[in-house]
Amino acid sequence: MVPVQFFSSINIQIPRKSIFKRLGYRKGVTQIIPDEMRELDESVEYAASLVRLKGAGKRFKVDVEGMSRIHFETGSVFESRDLAKFLSDCGEILLIGATGGSEITKAIQECSESDSMTRSVVLDAVASEMVDASLDWLCNYFNRELTRESKRLSRRRFSAGYGDFSLLDQHSIYDLLELKRIGIDINESAILIPEKSVTAVVRIENSEEE
Amino acid sequence: MGKGKSRIERLLKRRIVILDGATGTELQKRGMPSGVCPELWCLDNNQVIEKINSDYQRAGADVVYSATFGANRIKLGQYGISDVRGTNRELALAARRAVGKQALVAGDMGPTGRFVEPFGDLAFEEAVEIFREQAEGLAEGGVDLFVIETMIDIQEARAALIAVKEVSDTFTMVTMTYENDGRTLNGTDPVTALITLQSLGADAVGCNCSTGPEEMIKLIDDMKPYSTVPLVAKPNAGIPKLVGNETVFTMKPLEFSFFGKEFASKGVNMIGGCCGTAPEHIEKLKEAIANEKPRPPARRSLSAVSSARKTLLFERDKPLLIIGERINPTGKKALQSELLEGKMALLREMAREQEKRGADLLDVNVGVPGIDEKKVMAEAINVLAESTNLPLVIDSAHVETMEGALRLYPGRALLNSISGEKEKIQRLLPLAAKYGAMFILLPLTDRGVPDTAAERADVVREVFEEAQKNGYTKDDFITDGLVMTVSSNPEAPRETLKTVEWCSRRFKCRTVLGLSNVSFGMPERRWLNAAFLAMAAERGLTAAIANPEAEELMNFKYASDVLNGRDKDSSLYLDRFAAFTPGVKKSGDEAATSHADFIFRAVLGGNREGIEPIIGEALKSGESAAKLIDDIMIPAITEVGNLFDRREYFLPQLIASAEAMKRGIACLRPFLKDTKVATKKGLILMATVKGDIHDIGKNIVSLMLSNQGFEVVDLGKDVSAEAIVEAAQNLGPDIVGLSALMTTTMVNMKEIVERVERENLRCKFMVGGAVVSESFANSIGAHYARDGVDAVRVANRLL
């Protein structure tokens, strides 16, 4: 079986558009003066310099039983009607996980505690969007391999904590992806640490499916 | 030189060389099932692959690729195949059987599927070994040339190229795969890849797969001006589309071939097809470009260095370049001890700061007595490759350190330095040439440092003569003018300047100075350094090794670039000084006509630095603190809330205003003791619930509420129900505000509400967070607040 693939340095362009969107910017409505833009740009660059994107991914054969049970070839079982619906007629999935590292989390906290809330908010948005963009990067990476097998990934992703897919199942995902190896921990509430860490399930589809 | 190499080089001079089309999609078309190992299937069905090879040859391909794209140890291992050499040999022989001497056979090497250090967990030397094993098998199979293709990681491409070059001097092509944004998935642009690979010894460089011909033409166009080697293009047959049950590349052979002429006009030298192309595409392509003359590489040499993701050209009459000098432990105790302990945090910080301050390259020296310099230099390169895009200058006195660094560095490095000393000429120069590095030429010899510019010029000529024997040109090195201290020899700076002038204007090579030596032992060194830089710049200095954090020096650099005509339209100078905003005023303040007006605008504009002094002035002039808050600041922050609601403000502006307000109130608080103003609306206890560490939303809400006159006690994040109940008992808040971001922690809110109610505490609840909804809030007997502005409204309503 192909082992978990780890990516110790994911390189992406700073996703400015989605960062601004996350911060509530609306084109043609929100007004930003040059001084504010300079401050914002500086904070975005600073945040990006602190984000260390790492990722992991692995393909798994799965079997969807009935309306809500998803069996993994490894023996893990998830119970979720929403996830089962997402994976209907799908025999294989890609599990992915990514983190922005602890340096950015520390900087967000420090800014927050030192009366630099504005900077803290921008740093937080940059980290969130960069980690999200790293999941896109992982999907692009695996898609290249899948194309040669006439397969591809679904555009949608599904994460534990959404719908009835219990966040507690993140414990299993954590183990399946060996996320410890890219510096991620998990607490009792199934929250990944560092804070800017995410996982997702993606469908692997035969080309003819969509 | 091998026969294959001379044959292909002769072909390249005569015409555009035709490469074959896709193998993978052709194999699928001809019966290879999904999910099998393609190499193994080809061995078992060799008639199919041989037919594909011969079809391409008959269609006009001068070069066919062996079916060994994934025939490396890692990929084959996933199918339980261990005979890597044998697999490669047999598939190379199959291709030879198919085309005989009618076409050249290229030994095809694709990616391993793993990223190579410093970008991944595959050790660099392990990667080299993996590709060496494959290259040896292909060489045994008698391939005429090698092709390293579909690479997304420049370091993996380098590892493969080094491996091939260490196996054979056969002609080797390297093609990378670029995304729609014009970079590889790992962030390398085509010019950077070209510079790195052609200097490392690739005989042809280009791109394949991922895009159709239309998009790939631009990549060739971008690369051509910097090419010293032939350029290669192997586009897909357009973008794949779904037709019926199959993924189909819909671009037909004739349409595909239409792009041939444009490829030729942009300077492609070798062209074929990738996914979706078939022998018919190659046949039509050949016909389309039959009369096109090949454009040779644009230049013989190129003065440029690169990192994994950036190129830096040493161009004449362009702004003076700054090589950041700070990563050098000499005289820096903190850096020395970090390096000795194997820590890299300070080094990373120095890189980041120098890049921010305008350095163009970073000098890296880790020489500390007692250190394993070779190992630490390798670690430093790995860390810097991740943390900065700037190209590096490898600085060491030891040949072994230099060799290790040159091998590992994922770009074209600048070596500091090679002198006329015997060891440097005999050992370091050939190594630098092997890895294609540029170098700083130090005009000194075993006899010492020449005093005069004329003597230094002699050494420059001698070293250049030796460098030429290793394939170097005047574009490939930068001469150090040798800066000596003015305090010990007043003539020294003039001799250095004469050396710079001779190099720039007579010998026509580039120059560099280690600036700060000139002022050693003198007071106020920054002025001497800055003046010396300006004088050298006028004499044509290309680069200075200096501290970019020295503001005076950098200002002189920008000024001298303007005065020496090296900053077109003074644009860089104007950019630099446009950012200098004297004082603390923000746009719009100019219109303020009174203290009150200024304070209102300061809150509205989030002017955190400006609000405190103006409040001080307002108080001095007799304004009432209470009135400033009630009549000026509260209306201002309310207006900010309205602007935020209308989306005219977004979150950073809202928070900046809230912070300005907070600072203003902090200034006024000492003057509010005996007045009754709206600063005590009620007490609110805030907490992010147990298990949850996401608290930025709660912090924003706390800030907004305290600005509106609520007293806020923030218990922090990951707070247990017991701690919240206890605080509620002790403080008697009017409202308890709870936040949670995740579904698993949201449920803790219910428990807290129930426990507080069981204790008969009279307080209300306000909840919020990404997963919290109004209906959930209602279900647990709490009030929902959407965001910080809404929380103020809810709290005002509740009290």
Q: What residue segments make up the domains of chain A, in order of their start?
A: 5-209
User: Same domain, yes or no, for B501 and B393?
Assistant: yes
Domain boundary among B263, B288, B313: B288
Helix (H, G, I), strand (E, B) or coil at B593: coil
Q: What is the rounded CA–CA span in Å between residue B119 and residue B159?
A: 13
Name the token pair of B6.
Answer: 């001379």
User: CA B231, CA B225: separation in Å to the nearest integer?
Assistant: 11
Domain tally, chain B = 4
User: Domain with B699 in it: what CATH number?
Assistant: 3.40.50.280
At B579 the pLDDT is 54
Last residue within a domain, chosen from B530, B545, B578: B578
CATH number for position B640: 1.10.1240.10
Q: Which of residues 392-451 of B touch A (CB under 8 A)?
A: none
Domain that residue B433 falls in = 304-578
Dump the DSSP string for A23-59: TT--TTT----HHHHHHHHHHHHHHHHH---EEEEEE
For range A81-95, the mean pLDDT: 92
Q: Which two tokens stand for residue B446?
A: 């075993």
Tell me whether residue B621 is exposed, middle or buried, using C-beta atoms within 10 angstroms of its C-beta: 0 to 12, 13 to 18, 19 or more. exposed
Note whether B587 contacts A35, CB cutoff 8 Å.
yes
Per-residue confidence (pLDDT) for residue B397, from 0 to 100: 93
Judgement on whether residues B76 and B180 belong to the same structural domain of the protein: yes
Burial of B466 (0-12, 13-18, 19+ CB in 10 A): middle
| Nearest residue of A to residue B345, measured between CA atoms | A103
Helix B492-501 to helix B525-538 angle (10° resolution) is 30
Specify whether B422 is located in the same domain as B473: yes
Interface list for B 225-254 with A (CB within 8 A): 240, 242, 244-247
- CA-based torsion, B627, B628, B630, B635: positive or negative: positive
Q: Are residues B274 and B312 in the same domain?
A: no
Q: Which pLDDT score is estimated for A209? A: 43
What are the φ/ψ torsions at residue A205 (nearest 5 degrees)? -115, 145
Backbone angles phi, psi at B550, to 5 degrees: -80, 105
Give the rounded distance of the alpha carbon of B771 from its chain centre. Answer: 35
Q: Are residues B507 and B654 in the same domain?
A: no
Which tokens in the block code for residue B782? 């709490």
Q: Is B179 on the interface with A (CB under 8 A)?
A: yes
Q: Which of B352, B651, B691 sits opposite A49 (nearest CB)?
A: B352
Q: Are residues B405 and B483 in the same domain?
A: yes
Where b means 16+ CB within 10 Å and e means fewer, B671-692 reads bbeeeebebebbbbbbbbbbbb
Of A8, A121, A210, the CB nearest to B652: A121
For residue B402, count CB atoms less than 10 angstroms from its CB and return exposed for 0-12, middle for 13-18, buried for 19 or more: buried
Q: How many beta carbons lie within 10 A of that of residue B247, not counting itself? A: 19
Buried residues in B405-416 as b, exposed as e (16+ CB within 10 A) = bbbbbbbbbbbb
Q: How is residue B175 written in tokens?
A: 């093609």
Residue B692: which of A141, A149, A191 has the nearest Cβ?
A: A191
In the chain, the amino acid numbered B306 is S
Residue ranges of E strands in B354-434: 361-364, 392-395, 414-419
Test A150 with B34 for CB contact under 8 angstroms.
yes
In this structure, are B628 and B742 located in the same domain? Answer: no
Q: Which residues contact B223 (CB under 8 A, 6 or more apart)?
A: B190, B191, B194, B205, B206, B231
Overall average pLDDT of the A202-206 stretch: 88
DSSP B495: H
CA distance from start to end of chain A: 28
Is residue B730 included in any domain, yes or no? yes
Cβ separation B659–A115 shorter than 8 A: yes
Q: Express each pLDDT in B519-544 by its tens digit.
A: 999 999 999 999 999 999 999 999 99
- Four-CA torsion B694, B697, B699, B705, nearest 10 degrees: -150
Q: Is B736 helix (H, G, I), strand (E, B) or coil?
A: strand
- Identify whether the C-beta of residue B69 lies closer than 8 Å to the C-beta of residue B149: yes
Q: Are B382 and B118 in contact (CB under 8 A)?
A: yes
Closest among B32, B41, B128 to B76, alpha carbons compared: B41
* Sheet with strand B104-109: strands edge to edge: B17-18, B270-271, B231-234, B204-208, B172-176, B145-151, B104-109, B63-65
Residue B438 lies in a domain: yes
Check the CA dihedral B406-B409-B412-B416 and report its sign.
negative
Cβ contact A140–B179 (<8 Å) = yes
In this structure, is residue B293 part of a structural domain? no
ipTM, interface predicted TM-score of the complex = 0.91
* Secondary structure class of B108 (helix, strand, coil): strand
**Partner A, chain B 636-655, Cβ-Cβ below 8 Å:** 644, 646-653, 655
**Euclidean distance between CA atoms B689 and B716, whole angstroms:** 9
Q: How far does Cα B90 stand from its chain's mean position?
A: 40
Distance CA B135, CA B225 (A): 31
- Could A24 and B650 be called an inter-chain contact, meaning their C-beta atoms sit closer than 8 Å? yes
- What kind and span of H or E run contains B271? strand B270-271
B positions 29-68 inside 8 Å of A (CB) = 34-35
Contact criterion met (CB < 8 Å) for A33 and B586: yes
Instruction: Report, as ranges of residue numbers, the positions in chain B whose pLDDT lies below 70.
Output: 1-4, 241-247, 579-593, 673-680
Give yes or no: residues B186 and B235 share one domain.
Answer: yes
The domain that holds B213 is classified in CATH as 3.20.20.330
Closest CA to A94 of A140, A125, A130: A140
Q: A5-209: what CATH class?
A: alpha beta
- DSSP 3-state of B362: strand
In the stretch 112-171 of chain A, residues with CB closer than 8 A to chain B read: 112, 115-118, 120-122, 124-125, 137, 140-141, 144-145, 147-152, 161, 166-168
B738 touches chain A (CB under 8 A): no
The verdict on B380 and B497 lying in the same domain is yes
Q: Are residues B197 and B280 in the same domain?
A: yes
Domain boundary (B637, B671, B705) is at: B671
Residue B296 lies in a domain: no
CA distance B616 to B620: 6
CB-CB contact of A185 with A130 (8 Å): no
Whether residue B423 lies inside any domain: the answer is yes
B118 touches chain A (CB under 8 A): yes
Q: Are residues B337 and B358 in the same domain?
A: yes
Given this model, what pLDDT does residue A208 score? 47
Query: Mind listing the pLDDT tens digit for each residue in A13-71?
Result: 899 999 999 999 998 899 888 888 888 999 999 999 899 999 999 999 999 998 899 99
Cα gap B479→A59, rounded to integer Å: 54
The closest CB to that of A112, out of B114, B662, B699, belongs to B699
Chain B CB contacts of A25 under 8 Å are: 650
- B261 and B170 in one domain? yes
Which of B120, B655, B744 lies at the smallest CB-CB distance from A9?
B120
Asked if residue B134 lies in contact with residue B84, where contact means CB atoms within 8 angstroms, the answer is yes
d(CA A48, CA A55): 16
Q: Answer whether A32 sits within 8 Å of B653, measured CB to CB.
A: yes
pLDDT at B107: 98
Helical ranges in chain A per DSSP H: 16-22, 34-50, 81-86, 102-113, 117-147, 170-176
pLDDT, residue B451, reads 94
pTM of the model: 0.83
